[in-house]
Amino acid sequence: MNEIELLREWDADAPPLTDTARARARFRLHQAMQAPAAAPAAVGRRPLLRISVACAAAAAVTATVVVAQNTGEGAHRTQTVSATTVLRGAAAEALRLEKPLAPRGDQFIYTKEVIERTPVSGGPGKTYVDESWSSVDGSRKSYVSELGHTQWVPPAQKGQYSWPPTEWSKLERLPLDPGRLTVTLRETGTKPDFGRPTRADEWPMVQVFLSGLLRAPVLPKGLRSAAFEALAAVPGVEVLPGRTDVDGRAAVGVRYVGGPAGSPWASGGRVLLFDAKSYQYLGLRERVTAGGKSYDQYQHVTAQGVVDRVLQRP
């Protein structure tokens, strides 16, 4: 596929593209523009308007690891764990722990995210605490924090979009059935063909949308669990035992290793961490570059909720 073919698919008489359809087009264009000699460009984080195309998470039913478990009797036994087991366990935990929300359009989604960076070359690390208030329906100014930098973001304008959607109503329209969710994201902008199997070349895009959806700190009831279940069917991951989160808790990592050569998700550098026993999602660990330096970064959401005004906390 090249840029001309992408343009040929555009129909000037068609209705405006949805947020997800625009993201899908950008994904395909990104694939078409990849060149072996070109290094991936660093993309800065943009509040509310960014597409989470660099999020890495997925699962393959054949990917397994053997992890040691303490029996409580001074000995250890081993258990084979697959990515499917981890992600389906995470789906069950998401259902058990979630607190259903029904925000009004005039309210705000509050999130508190902690990001810890440690220089790869050594030296002291730095912790950022980002608190953000995002308009539920996108009609009001939002107040967001990115690595400690705060700013007001104006209401969404025509032609602006994000993935995952920032408007709660758009999130509520996504299917809660894992299979239908996969197909809906696979065929955004067209009528979903729920009877057609997903092709090998479509899985990287499905993984991008699903893992991007999971980066949203607050989702409608059942949607996070559905996304974890859907990821369990995506081929191309490794399970990494013996990991720990920032608090030292035993964890299992899941990372995506598929995708086009040269794309950010091809290297498998981003790892989702899950509690080694309950499979509760703990956060994201990755290596990032900023200001010419490399850092090991860990980020996780510590609080979320719905409030009536900016700067109010649940």
- Tens place of pLDDT per residue across the chain (314 aa): 433 333 334 344 444 444 444 444 544 444 443 333 333 333 333 343 333 333 333 333 333 444 434 334 333 333 457 889 999 999 999 999 998 888 999 999 999 999 999 999 999 999 999 999 999 998 999 999 999 999 999 987 776 667 888 889 889 999 999 999 999 999 877 888 999 999 988 988 888 888 888 888 889 999 999 999 999 998 887 789 999 888 888 999 998 877 666 555 555 577 899 999 999 999 989 888 888 999 999 999 999 999 999 999 99
CA distance 149 to 266: 30
Q: Find where tokens 């081929």 sit.
A: 235
Which of helix, strand or coil describes residue 299? strand
Instruction: Give residue-wise pLDDT tens across range 53-76.
Output: 333 333 333 334 444 343 343 333
Hey, where are the domains in the chain?
3-307
Q: How far is CA 132 from CA 109, 152, 178, 200, in A?
A: 8, 10, 29, 38
Measured in degrees and rounded to the nearest 5, phi and psi for residue 31 equal -60, -45
CA distance 304 to 231: 23
Instruction: Give residue-wise pLDDT tens across range 24-57.
Output: 454 444 444 333 333 333 333 334 333 333 333 3
Q: Is the pTM of this model over 0.85?
A: no
30-62: burial string, b at 16+ Cβ within 10 Å, e else: bbeeeeeeeeeeeeeeebbebbbbbbbbbbbee
CA distance 13 to 165: 24
The pLDDT value given to residue 76: 36
**Would you state the structure tokens that stand for residue 139, as one six-digit string?**
């009609």
